[in-house]
A and B are shown apart, each in its own frame.
Chain A
Amino acid sequence: GEDVEQSLFLSVREGDSSVINCTYTDSSSTYLYWYKQEPGAGLQLLTYIFSNMDMKQDQRLTVLLNKKDKHLSLRIADTQTGDSAIYFCAEEDSSYKLIFGSGTRLLVRP
């Protein structure tokens, strides 16, 4: 079945860039998503990319998609302490269901 994998933990210094990586298996995914979860809260959609795009930029966020390698990344420029959270990558399967990765915990050090 479909699978989405992410590294579990990333630590960066405030002001640096963060890059969170994700690999997925379903090549028919139409959309791929990045969600953010702050402590004790639900998931908040950060951004998404349509599968026929290579890159999408939205303020401090840049999403890169390599369809050949089934690799998705999220870059956060000028990372702030408020960016500390868990980030989930998700792909959409052929039944329009979302398949989530296990989440990457981002820690931003002052």
Chain B
Amino acid sequence: DVKVTQSSRYLVKRTGEKVFLECVQDMDHENMFWYRQDPGLGLRLIYFSYDVKMKEKGDIPEGYSVSREKKERFSLILESASTNQTSMYLCASRPGLEQETQYFGPGTRLLVL
């Protein structure tokens, strides 16, 4: 079974703090993704990575950065958290670009005060 884990289920941070969200997959997948989920908006892609040290901007990258130093780990970084970044953050991985599905982690619910 594919397993995608996220470091925290719930996080509370203050405006201006630097926030790290970690995602780990154990199936040697090449592709990893970060989404945020907001009511009525579905999932929106923030960043994705095709391979180690590679990253591509998604649809809403502003205010975020990412790091992929090892194949199994994809980190999402909020350099200076703001209240409009309060959201559910979902990580996903996929074996390769032409594979048919993405596997999702359980999500991290982030509240920025």
Contacts and interface: CB of A to CB of B under 8 A. Distances in A.
Contacts of B33: 98
Contact of A103 (B42, B90, B103): B42
B60 interface: no
Nearest to B103: A45
B82 interface: no
Interface of A: 4, 8, 31, 33, 35, 40-45, 48, 88, 90, 96-98, 100-103
B26 to A, nearest CB: 15
A88 B42 contact: yes
A42 B104 CA distance: 6
Given A33-B101, A48-B100, A97-B58, A43 B90 contact: yes
Contacts of B98: 96
A102 B42 contact: yes
A41 B42 contact: no
Interface string B9-49: 00000000000000000000001010100001111110010
Nearest to B6: A42
Contact of A31 (B43, B58, B100, B106): B100
Kindly name the residue among B43, B97, B103 whose own CB sees the greatest number of chain A CB atoms within 10 A: B43
Given A96-B98, A97-B45, A97-B48, A44 B104 contact: yes
Contacts of A41: 106-107
B62 to A, nearest CB: 17
A99 to B, nearest CB: 8
Contact of A88 (B43, B48, B58, B105): B43
A98 B104 CA distance: 12
Contacts of B90: 42-43
25 contacts: A8-B40, A35-B104, A40-B107, A41-B106, A42-B4, A42-B90, A42-B106, A42-B107, A43-B43, A43-B90, A45-B101, A45-B102, A45-B103, A48-B100, A48-B101, A88-B43, A90-B43, A96-B97, A97-B58, A98-B33, A98-B45, A98-B102, A100-B43, A102-B41, A102-B42
